[in-house]
Amino acid sequence: MRELARPVAAVLLALLCALPAAAACQLRAHERVVLFGAGDDPGVLLWDSRFRLRAYHAASFDEAQDMIARALLVTAGTRAIVIACLPQFVQPRYGLTLDDAVEVRILTGPLHGRSGWVLGSDARR
Amino acid sequence: MFVLLIAVEGAFQTRASIADTFNREAEMQRAQIDLQEMLRLQINEENSLRGFVLTRDPFYVQQYALASAQWAAKETAVHNALVDERLGTALQMLDEYDTVQTRWRREIALPLLTRPRSELVELDKKNKAFVDYQAQTADGVRAILVVTSAALVRSTQDQINRSSYMRAFWLLIFGLLAILFNAYGSRLTRELHEERMVSDVLQEAFRSAHVPVPNCEIGARYLSASARLRVGGDVYDVFLLSEKRALLLIADVSGKGVDAAVLTAFVRFTVRSIALRHVDPGNILTEFNETFGRTVDNPSLFITMLVGVLDCSDGSFTYASAGHDSAYVRRSTSVESLPVTGPLVGVIEATYGTKSVQLAVGDALVLATDGLTEARARSGELLGERAAMDLIGAAPREAQALADYLAVHVRKRSGNRPTDDLALLVVRYAGEDGGDA
């Protein structure tokens, strides 16, 4: 799968060049949010490090499988509060747009009190 | 015509090209829909699996198997579309999607179908990784399909625009050519009309003519060997020198057509001019022969001609003949030939003699060119002098009727295609009374 990196990077670069200038972070500190996955699986992965969050989304499938043990799966609908936000920090492997990395503290559910990093698109106001 | 064919052929090619692009664009749209359908079927597989784990109902296994089969069919359809469009990167992404889905079935689905468990936390997390990854690869394929589809739409639009410009261009060229051809045609028509006008004026100027002569009845005919021209190398002329005296002229210039006609005009007016100064026809011819030699450079040109002066008061006719042997006097009971009095004009310097004949009332001078005696039958046989004289003897008495009779005979003999010009001048002496003898 590594051989895909170059052509995919070329496609992404071409697409990204067409995008408008980067915007500011979508969320601000102290904002309360609900975690809800934007993909087909509404569960949200909570990562112990923003770099691991970014690496997971840029990784090949095998790499992602290896990394998954370092994440917690948060049930969709869990409430949280924003601690920090890094604008356009995450570049999905095949996605068209950059995503924010948001640090949150879980307020409800079995993981209440835990902190970690989630994708900006998974944290809804 | 060539330009029109190119334009039509180009329009057909453009139409085929646009139709092809439309088909490709439609295939890209179908591939996007199939890809979306794959994601839906993937979720169906996952939900069927969860349903089975929670209920142990075999119905969910059937649903799972059905969704798996449908997913494979859709994957093949998308794969073929990407191959057709030669989208290598998207193909690699789709293969990766397929690989991950196969691994999901093997690593997540199969263990759960074999040993359903209610504890799914770790499995859910792993499943999340699968689903996220598949969603990403599918997004990548979709992005390429969208870009390709947009490029095809642009290409179609470009082809339509180009086709419109080309059509306008060819129409412009065709229109310009039509205008040019029309202008050229008009110019040719105008030039032709002008030439025709000049030709008509010249023909009128060169045409033989006669004026009424006192005590005489005059008939004349002219047959041209050229179908389009009313003039040729033969000429006759009747010109009043005084109240009583008329100049009669008949001549045959070597050659045919306009060139010969130009020379006949020279003959007519020069002879008239000389005749105003000389009474004797022999002197007229002698001077004309000198003038001709000085004026005309072409040594191959020569003229047979007869110049005579008719005294209208008494019917005496004096003449000089330069090798012109087609001249006759028709009497009441016979036809006589008028002998020549000198050589052809334009050959040598010569002095021409003068002869006289006396016309009785009712007698007619029949002056012709060699078109009469040399009138050729279809077999090639010439009419000859004897037959010509017989013909004159059998002709009607009236001057014009006699001329018409001879002309009709010559035309009929040659099958309506005379090979030589023919000039006929008939002067019938009617005497002081003007009565018929």
In chain A, the number of structural domains is 1
Residues of A in contact with B93 (CB under 8 A): 4, 8, 94
Domain of A26?
2-124
Phi-psi region of B56 (alpha: psi -120 to 50; beta: other; left: phi over 0): left
What's the CATH fold of domain B208-429? Phosphatase 2c; domain 1 (3.60.40)
Mean pLDDT for A37-41 is 80
Q: What phi and psi, each to the nearest 5 degrees, are found at residue B208?
A: -70, 150
Dist CA B147 CA B41 (whole Å): 24
Please tell me which of the candidates A7, A73, A94 has its beta carbon nearest to residue B128: A73
Residue A4 pLDDT: 54
CB contact B408 to A (< 8 Å): no
User: B131 and A41 in contact by Cβ < 8 A?
Assistant: yes
Residue A3 pLDDT: 56
CB contact B96 to A (< 8 Å): yes
| Best of A65, A94, A119, A122 to mutate (most B CBs within 10 Å, chain B) | A94
Structure tokens at B86: 């030669």
Closest residue on chain B to A7 (Cα): B89
Answer whether B121's CB lies under 8 Å from A73's CB. yes
Residues of A in contact with B127 (CB under 8 A): 41
Structural domain boundaries of chain B? 2-176, 208-429
User: A41 and B132 in contact by Cβ < 8 A?
Assistant: yes
Please tell me which of the candidates A10, A71, A96 has its beta carbon nearest to residue B143: A96
pLDDT band at A13 (very low <50, low <70, confident <90, very high): very low
pLDDT band at A14 (very low <50, low <70, confident <90, very high): very low
CB contact B43 to A (< 8 Å): yes
Residue A77 pLDDT: 94
What value of ipTM does the predicted structure carry?
0.72
Closest CA to A67 of A79, A78, A80, A53: A53
Residue B434 pLDDT: 63
Could you please report the per-residue DSSP string of B92-143?
HHHHHHHHHHHHHIIIIIHHHHHS--S--HHHHHHHHHHHHHHHHHHHHHHH
Share of chain A above pLDDT 70, in %: 80
Which chain A residues touch B if contact means CB-CB below 8 Å?
1, 4, 7-8, 10-11, 15, 37, 39-41, 43, 45, 57, 61, 64-65, 68, 71-73, 92-96
Q: What is the mean pLDDT of each run of 10 residues along chain B (437 residues)?
A: 65 77 88 90 88 89 93 94 90 91 90 75 77 84 88 84 83 90 90 75 67 90 72 84 92 77 86 92 95 85 94 94 94 93 91 95 94 86 90 93 93 82 92 63
Closest residue on chain B to A60 (Cα): B133
User: A7 and B131 in contact by Cβ < 8 A?
Assistant: no
Name the DSSP class of B318: E
Dist CA B184 CA B192 (whole Å): 12
Mean pLDDT for A67-93 is 92
Tell me the C-alpha to C-alpha distance, in Å, between residue B114 and each of B98, B102, B107.
22, 16, 11
Closest residue on chain A to B135 (Cα): A39
Pick the CATH number of B2-176 from 3.40.50, 1.10.1660, 1.10.150, 1.20.120: 1.20.120
Q: Under 8 Å CB-to-CB from B397, ≥6 apart: which residues? A: B362, B364, B428, B436
Place of tokens 């002081």: B432
CA distance A66 to chain B (A): 10
Residues of B in contact with A95 (CB under 8 A): 136, 139-140
